[in-house]
Structures are given as structure tokens and as C-alpha cells.
Chains A and B, each alone.
Chain A
Amino acid sequence: MNEELKQKIREILLERYGVDIAEAVCRFSTQNYAFIFPERPYMIRVSISPKKSRSEILSELMWVDDLKPFKQTICEPNASLNGLLLEEFAIDGKLYRASMFRTARGNIKLTTEMKPMFFICVGDLLGAIHHVSTNERELGIRYSRKKLSDTFDALKNRVKEHIPPQIEKRITSVQQEVDSLPEELGRYGICHGDFHINNFFVEENNIWLFDFDGCTYASYMYDVASFIQACFLMGYKAGEDCRKVLYEDILPYFKTGYELNKECDEHYWDHLELFITYRVAMAYMSLLEIDECGVVDDLEQIRQFLSYIISQEDVLGAMTAALKQQAGGHDEGK
């Protein structure tokens, strides 16, 4: 961020929130600046020329605000000095939107540190979120957020020319299968949309959740799948059979926590593998339209890795093979 712009934003945020971003660390992602104040329980997110509308951002904030009474470890929004959850301002004709959030406590968990209790706690958190989502839908609350199926479709159309025909066929088939599922109450509603281990901090048994920027209407299984897919791709039990790890080391514990808060019938988890495939497809397509990514160093390598996985019928099997090969490559390198 250039100094002149930073100074202008600084003055505005000082007036609206009473805090000085000169004392904050600034991090930039694809759409936002995050001003993180060390040792203080809040951060400010500033979206630049936002891709999302005001009502979409306001919906995100209202939803997170609604989650808070049900789960204390949600990084909920704080109002500005004007009493607003969303502050808007223009600098040199460009629109900016700012929100203050409570910050998370703890640290990102390394995959080597993941124990059964961790999966129980993550399940407990996500079950509570999906319970609130179901309750809101029952009450008739309907936020201005997109459906994931529409986002998926739009993304596919944007990157279509970069996808090999065989993979496109496979993605379309997965998409059709997901889209054919009924949007049933208790299984479908507003979701976090990007629920993975880089979006929560862990402090003992408390999971502090943040980054609700991608909240969307989808099957709840998409959030579960996002978490599981990320565990594998970040190296949880790398080299072992992913399906075995999923059903023996992750899911039984995750379900124990999840079902503390969320009612699930015997078929609730039936489509988990389908949604893991859907999530892999989403990740693959997202990487096709960006030039750099803060999470991975070698973008082309991860694209090839995901394209191999998504091209196979058995995604967990393909993930096992690809991760084994990668682990082998690393061993050889050593």
C-alpha cells in the first residue's frame, strides 16, 4: 500500500474507529487489507473496490453477529464509533468498506499436532454454526449471499478455456451431481464457505474462527469437505491411505463434536466424498484464475497436483497416490 493512500485510510479509520493503523501490521490478500493490532483484541478489514455489494457484506456481518451468542469463539464484528458494522468511504473516487472484527486467540494448528480432541472441537464448532444456520432458515431469515452453485458455475465459465476437456467433463459431472441434491432444511443453508485450518486459530480446546468473507448458501457438507480436504493437502498423515485416515482418524471424532450441536440422520454424511471432490474442483479452478497465492509457493505444481486428483474417479484414492508420490519425492530430495 502506498504511503499516501495509507495516510488517508489512517485518518478515516482514526475518525470512525478511534484507532490508529500506524500501530498495526498490514496484511494484504486478494480483496482486502487486514490491519492487525498486536496485543489488542481487534483488527480492521478494509475491502478495496469490493467485488461484493454492500448488502452482501452487511449480510456477512449480520450472520456472524448472529452466530456469536451460540459460539463464543466466533470472531464477530464490532461496531464503529458511529454504531455501524460497516463503514464506507471513498478515496480518489475508489470505494472502500471497513469492518472491525474481534481477533482470534492462539495459533494456526500444524497438521502434525492434530489429535482426536482437535477434530472433536472443530466438529463442535461447525455443528454449532450449521445448527444456527438451520434455525435461521426455519425462522425465515434469508441473507443476501450467493448460492455456491452459482459461484461454482460462474468460476467454471471464467476459466473454461484453461481446463483440459477431460477434466472439464469430470468437473461438470460432479457439478451436476451436487446441483441435483435437494436444498433440504437441516442440510443446506448459509455456510462459512472457506472452512479450513488456515482460517482458524487454536487455543487449547478453543477454535477461534475468522474470515467469513466467503459465506455462501450451500450444503453443510461443503464446509465439512473443505476442512477435510485441507487437512490432507496440508499434510495430515501424509503417505497414508486418505480414505482410511478419513474414516478412522478424522470422521469418528469430528462427528462426535458435530453431533453435539447438530441433528444428523443416518444419511447425513452420505455425500461427504462427493463434496470433497467438489471442493477439489473448486480449488483447482480458483487457482487457474490467479497469478499468485499466499498459501502456496509453486502455483503450477499445485495446479498439476489438483488436476491429477480431479481427473480421477476416486478422489481420495488419487489424493493418496499423489500425496505418497509427493512424500516420496521429498524423501528422495533429502
Chain B
Amino acid sequence: MTMEKTKNDGALQIALEGRLDTTTAPQLEEELKSGMDGITELIFDFEKLAYISSAGLRVLLSAQKAMNKQGKMLIRHVNETIMEIFEVTGFVDILSIE
């Protein structure tokens, strides 16, 4: 998985490409742990994300939980495959998806 970050004042955009699974989720988790200070808007761009596993979902939930305290989190450009996973796991009701 590759990760492209764009920071603009308090807004952080992370574009993911590839698979967010058991192997790659810790990489994102680490990134979020270290880079969230002062962030009030966290945006994920999933246009090029091919797959998300439960491990990836857990990282998104942690991020959502953190952002509930300090701002907002959005997920953009969710493709059909990922959206189906969000739907069957009830994530559509938890996350803000644009």
C-alpha cells in the first residue's frame, strides 16, 4: 500500500493506494498516531484503494474516535468494493462518507 499525505494548516488529506489489510494497517495506524496533533480535519481519499480488511476498518474506527474529539473525519471517493464492505459491517452509519 502507498500513502500520499497533503497537509494544509489543520487539514490533513491521506490518499491510499493498494490494499489496507493486516499487513499494511499498522503502517497507517503509526502514521495517524504520530501526525494528528493540531489536525481538525482528516480526509481519506480512497479512490485508489482496492481492498480494506477488518484490520483496516479498525484503524479507521480509531481515527474516527480520535477525530470526534478534535474535529471531523471524511472519507472520499469510495469505490463499489469498499462501499460494500462498509455496508455489510455497518460502517456507513459510523463514518462520514462523501
Contacts and interface: CB of A to CB of B under 8 A. Distances in A.
Contact of A141 (B19, B84, B90): B90
Interface residues of B, number: 20
Interface residues of A, number: 18
Interface in B71-98: 81, 84-85, 87-91, 93-94
A113 B59 CA distance: 42
Contact of B53 (A55, A65, A139): A65
B3 interface: no
A62 B81 CA distance: 13
Interface in A68-112: 68-69, 79, 83-84
Given A65-B54, A83-B50, A83-B51, A58 B85 contact: yes
Nearest to B85: A62
Contacts, number: 52
The secondary-structure label for the interface of chain B is helix
A66 interface: yes
A140 interface: yes
B66 to A, nearest CB: 13
Interface in B40-75: 50-51, 53-55, 57-58, 61
Interface of B: 19, 22, 50-51, 53-55, 57-58, 61, 81, 84-85, 87-91, 93-94
Given A55-B84, A58-B88, A141-B57, 14 more contacts: A55-B87, A62-B53, A62-B85, A65-B22, A79-B51, A84-B51, A84-B81, A140-B94, A141-B90, A142-B89, A142-B93, A143-B88, A144-B87, A144-B88
12 contacts: A55-B84, A58-B88, A62-B57, A62-B89, A66-B58, A141-B57, A141-B89, A141-B91, A142-B89, A142-B90, A143-B89, A143-B90
